[in-house]
Chains A and B, each alone.
Chain A
Amino acid sequence: MDFIAIFSIFVLACFVGYFVVWSVTPALHTPLMSVTNAISSVIIVGALIASAAAGSATSKWLGLAAVVMASINIFGGFAVTSRMLAMYKKKER
């Protein structure tokens, strides 16, 4: 994809992010941080490409290390978010 196309996606996504995040209720700002943490580990895509590629052993091991780190974040981030969200309860009536 050419740079301008990618850049357009990026700029539009920033706007989407701006509006979506302002609509998050302040009571859920901590889960917001933990879930953004989990999804920013989508960097695992790059790590998987590096660990699958032939040609450089160092590059492959760096990739595998990054896969471990990103996985900790993905599983840990989603799990802790879900643990927190499960605690939010409405008043019993």
Chain B
Amino acid sequence: MDIQAILSAATGGHGAVNPYAAIAYLESGILFILALRGLSSPATAQSGNRFGMIGMTIAVVTTLLTHMPMKLGDATNSYTGVDPVGLIEILVAIGIGAVIGIVMARRIAMTAMPQLVAAFHSLVGLAAVAVAAAAYLNPVAFGIADAAGQIHVVSRVEMGLGIAIGAITFSGSVIAFLKLNGNMSGSPIMLPGRHIINLGTLAAIVALTAYFTQDQSPWVFWTITGLSFAIGFLLIIPIGGADMPVVVSMLNSYSGWAAAAMGFTLGNTAMIITGALVGSSGAILSYIMCRAMNRSFISVIAGGFGADDSGGGAGGSKEQRPWKPGSAEDAAFLMSQAENVIIVPGYGMAVAQAQHALREMADQLKKEGVNVKYAIHPVAGRMPGHMNVLLAEANVPYDEVFELEDINGEFAQCDVAFVIGANDVTNPAAKTDKTSPIYGMPVLDVEKAKTVLFVKRSMGGVGYAGVDNDVFYMDQTMMLLGDAKKMTEQIVKAM
């Protein structure tokens, strides 16, 4: 079958599905499933990513072939073939996007991945809004209107949902980006009566979407759009920096639902399958992050975590307790005498850019016959799996890196736990102290190790949750105060 035949089949009337195109979209949907499937192991992940690229190419090429920009015939010229200018415009648009995207992907530092992902989410959201608006303005082209130009009722609901989710994704991601990038304070911004404002706005969006099925006037459509932009903004500003991993995952999920809603409008299987995949992926990641912080999803969304540091937790933690300082030489000696060392990196390690020095230290230890492993808490970085990427960047082999539940039993047999840039995720108060704000959060059992080496900038600062850590004051703990990178380098030198 040649292109002309496919083209004529595609333009054969509204709602008529071109079977070749439908099969092609199904194929790209399946390739996207395989792309995610590949991520079950680092060994298959690259080929999964290639499946994703092939799937996307198929979707784009199919759409281009079935929706060529056409010249309209007039009195003097009945030629109605492909409009070359229109085609060039589209290819230029793709080209511009390709250049920007590839440059961003090449330049971004791995520590800044959360910001990049937030920025990308905002683009998906805005693109969804633009597509929904385009479909609203030109419904006949999307095959969702009857002869009189009235948009089908089902399509109006889908469109309303699409634009609402898209707009929330956009404005929410912009705020998340600004908070993660440090352009905006990470501390929650609490508006008075925000719950009432938010619920009222959400109710208005739902009511207007319902009304939109009866009246497709522009004011209804654009009011839904405006309110949705506003609610995305309002929802994210009260959420604190510590909860950003949840927010980024949640927005990931929204960007998927936005694509799915547009897929319903267009009756496109590739978009629906992808939307469902991405939507569930983001939802599962949000759930994993919430579980790792022992926070309910509702309380994250309600916001305000880290705002009320009233009194700094239980037991008047401001009292002076004795702790044992140590030097780089002590640390080097202790670790080289050890049999098993578990390294517990946290975001502070990444901020100090200590991962390369850390890997050198681990290499030295391995040369001396020490068994070195890394223990990663799910919220160690600023987004799900962030710490794993940072360690991979420093050439730490992925089979030395273990998740919390896989390694927690090994602390009891390990000689040295080397905690660097992490705090709350090692705090035993989460297991014992019911009054602690982090009570119930799964933590790494570093206190069970024979010796704990705790690298920390100073004794003053505490983690996100603002609680003191009993590990600092235990007999087997040695505090190594200083910059994480410099301290690690000194330890390497002392070995």
Contact present for A45 and B59 (CB under 8 Å) = yes
Contact present for A42 and B384 (CB under 8 Å) = no
A54 vs B69: C-alpha distance in the bound complex, in angstroms? 7
* Chain A positions 1 through 39: 1 when the CB is less than 8 Å from some CB of chain B, otherwise 0: 101001101110110111011111111111111111111
* Chain B positions 76 through 119: 1 when the CB is less than 8 Å from some CB of chain A, otherwise 0: 00000000001001100111111011101110101001001100
Chain B: interface secondary structure? helix
Contact present for B56 and A84 (CB under 8 Å) = no
Contact present for A43 and B264 (CB under 8 Å) = no
Contact present for B102 and A32 (CB under 8 Å) = no
Return chain A residues, CB-CB under 8 Å to B134: 46-47, 50, 56, 58-60, 62-63, 66
Number of interface residues of B (CB under 8 A): 119
- Complex interface: stretch among B30-38, B195-203, B325-333, B474-482: B30-38
Return chain B residues, CB-CB under 8 Å to A23: 37, 40
Contact present for A39 and B130 (CB under 8 Å) = no
From known contacts A37-B117, A45-B266, infer whether A89 and B392 are also in contact, taking CB-CB under 8 Å: yes
Contact present for B141 and A50 (CB under 8 Å) = yes
From known contacts A3-B154, A70-B124, A74-B101, infer whether A37 and B255 are also in contact, taking CB-CB under 8 Å: yes
Return chain B residues, CB-CB under 8 Å to A11: 276
Option from B86, B130, B274 in Cβ contact (under 8 Å) with A65? B130
Distance between A62 CB and nearest chain B CB, rounded to angstroms: 4
* Chain A positions 66 through 92: 1 when the CB is less than 8 Å from some CB of chain B, otherwise 0: 111111111111111111111111111
From known contacts A10-B272, A21-B284, A75-B98, infer whether A48 and B90 are also in contact, taking CB-CB under 8 Å: yes
Option from A43, A46, A58, A88 in Cβ contact (under 8 Å) with B398? A88
Contact present for B384 and A29 (CB under 8 Å) = yes
Contact present for A59 and B137 (CB under 8 Å) = yes
Return chain A residues, CB-CB under 8 Å to B128: 43, 66
Return chain A residues, CB-CB under 8 Å to B248: 33
Number of interface residues of A (CB under 8 A): 83
Contact present for A48 and B266 (CB under 8 Å) = no
22 CB < 8 A contacts A-B: A7-B264, A13-B276, A14-B280, A30-B389, A33-B248, A35-B35, A35-B49, A39-B55, A40-B124, A41-B56, A44-B60, A45-B59, A46-B135, A50-B135, A53-B138, A66-B131, A67-B90, A72-B104, A75-B97, A80-B105, A82-B49, A85-B46
Binding site for A on B (CB under 8 A): 17, 25, 28-29, 32-33, 35-37, 39-43, 45-46, 48-49, 52-53, 55-56, 59-60, 63-64, 67-70, 72, 86, 89-90, 93-98, 100-102, 104-106, 108, 110, 113, 116-117, 120-121, 123-124, 126-128, 130-131, 133-135, 137-138, 140-142, 154, 248-249, 252, 255-256, 258-260, 262-282, 284-285, 288, 376, 378, 381, 383-386, 388-389, 392-393, 395, 397-401, 403
Besides A17-B277, A39-B56, A51-B89, 19 more A-B contacts (Cβ < 8 Å) are A9-B273, A16-B273, A34-B117, A35-B36, A37-B120, A40-B255, A42-B259, A43-B127, A43-B271, A48-B60, A50-B130, A67-B90, A68-B94, A71-B96, A71-B97, A76-B120, A83-B105, A84-B392, A90-B42
Binding site for B on A (CB under 8 A): 1, 3, 6-7, 9-11, 13-14, 16-18, 20-56, 58-60, 62-92
